[in-house]
Copies of this chain bind each other. A is one copy, B any other.
Amino acid sequence: MDDDRPTSPRSRATPLAPKADKDTVRRHNLSLVLRAVHDESALSRAGAAARTGLTRAAVSSLADQLIRGGFLTESGKSFSGQAGRPGTMLTPARTGPAGAGVEVNVDYVSVCVVDLAGTDRVRLTEHLDNRGEPAADVLERAARIAARAVDSAAEQDLRPVGVELALPGLVSRGTVRQAPNLGWSQVEAETLFGEAFQRLLPNSPALRVTSDNEANLAALAELWFGSPAERVEHFLYLSGEIGVGGALVVGGELLRGAHGFAGEIGHAVVDPEGPRCRCGSRGCLEQYAGQLALLRSAGLDEDSGIPGVAELERRARAGDESALGALADAGRTLGIVLSGAVNLFDPEAVVLGGIYRALTPWLAPAADRELTRRTVSGLWPPDSGRLRASSLAGDAARGAAGRVVRRVLGDPLAYA
């Protein structure tokens, strides 16, 4: 697992001590300059020197190398502050190295290509039912969708240098240990996807394929790409899909747990003798507030997928009573489970993503009431805004692509 910290605004990036090996120092400083420009969106050479603590001459040499390597572009005029003397601005390249993220979920596959500035440049989503299909077939189909997205990126002169898979289950070292809603167990997802992808693009260099849990990546997307005004560094992220995933972020980093499986709030027990869950337990949260339960309880076909969720939203907006009742019930159950998580973990905010994002206006009031009533610190006043919908950017494919981009920013020479 790579470090997600390199470009956090909090990280105090400093030049390496001069006694480190010369090539290592240059490599480190190339990343330092690239990250400074990325974090500020645009910087003059003088600004980059001020921000990194490197000399102006060193920054110029490093910036030139980053421009030649296709990581930065230099353009426009700015005023450097030195009495009106015009300068040019460094910006992350809009072409060249990019990151690809592939979310393989229960009823859709979504692929996203993000450039070095962090912008979502290609998005390809297919709604389909991955349940009951052999894992190899699902991953091969995902690879076909990803290959198409890579073709689209190529038309924009973007070249993904790695692929990260976002998977709805327990992911460890490239393998899906369990993905109950897909019916997967011990699936070597990275290898299967990578081989299929390579067969589809035989003339491309083999891309490094990595993977993580989808809720973890959606939480990182929220952190990296969400609204700066709403940015929190300590939150619980909930991803409503057919399963209910979750992730914990502490100080701007994922809390992974002892085995990498933290965040699985979807299997909190609502009723110990409740309906059987795909995980083998009974009465788990996702049996009450997952997509299938929500649609069913609103009188919709539980297998109607995203169109069904859109219909639920439409009915709620129109004041349909069974839609509103289903959402209030699910919101109340979410609130009860969330109060336990809030008492345990004391986050600044709880962020609702996936299908919950659009449904938050109807889920949140009931959930918020339970949180106010049950948060023992008394720090959950009504309508505090601590329970909120994720930003549009907070999705797993974008987080996955963003992680690849972060790897490039962390060591551009490795991708030159």
Contact = CB atoms under 8 A, between A and B. Distances in A.
A374 interface: yes
Contacts of A373: 280-281
Counting chain B CB atoms within 10 Å of each CB, the highest count among A258, A265, A281, A379 belongs to A258
A376 B284 CA distance: 10
B344 A177 contact: no
Given A250-B255, A269-B336, A373-B280, A178 B378 contact: yes
Contact of A281 (B256, B264, B344, B374): B374
Nearest to A373: B281
Interface in A262-284: 262-269, 272, 279-281, 284
A348 interface: yes
A300 B169 CA distance: 46
Interface string A194-221: 0000000000000000000000000000
Task: Assign chain A's interface to a size class.
Answer: 35 or more
Contacts of A177: 377-378
B340 A261 contact: no
A346 B250 contact: no
Contacts of A344: 246, 248, 262-265, 268, 341, 344-345
A229 B374 CA distance: 38
Contact of A347 (B258, B260, B272, B346): B258
Contacts of A178: 376-378
Interface in A290-343: 336-337, 339-341, 343
A165 B347 CA distance: 25
Contact of A257 (B234, B246, B340): B234
Given A343-B264, A343-B268, A374-B281, A379 B250 contact: no
Nearest to A332: B272
Closest 9 CB pairs of A and B: A257-B346, A268-B340, A264-B343, A262-B346, A281-B374, A258-B348, A261-B377, A267-B376, A234-B258
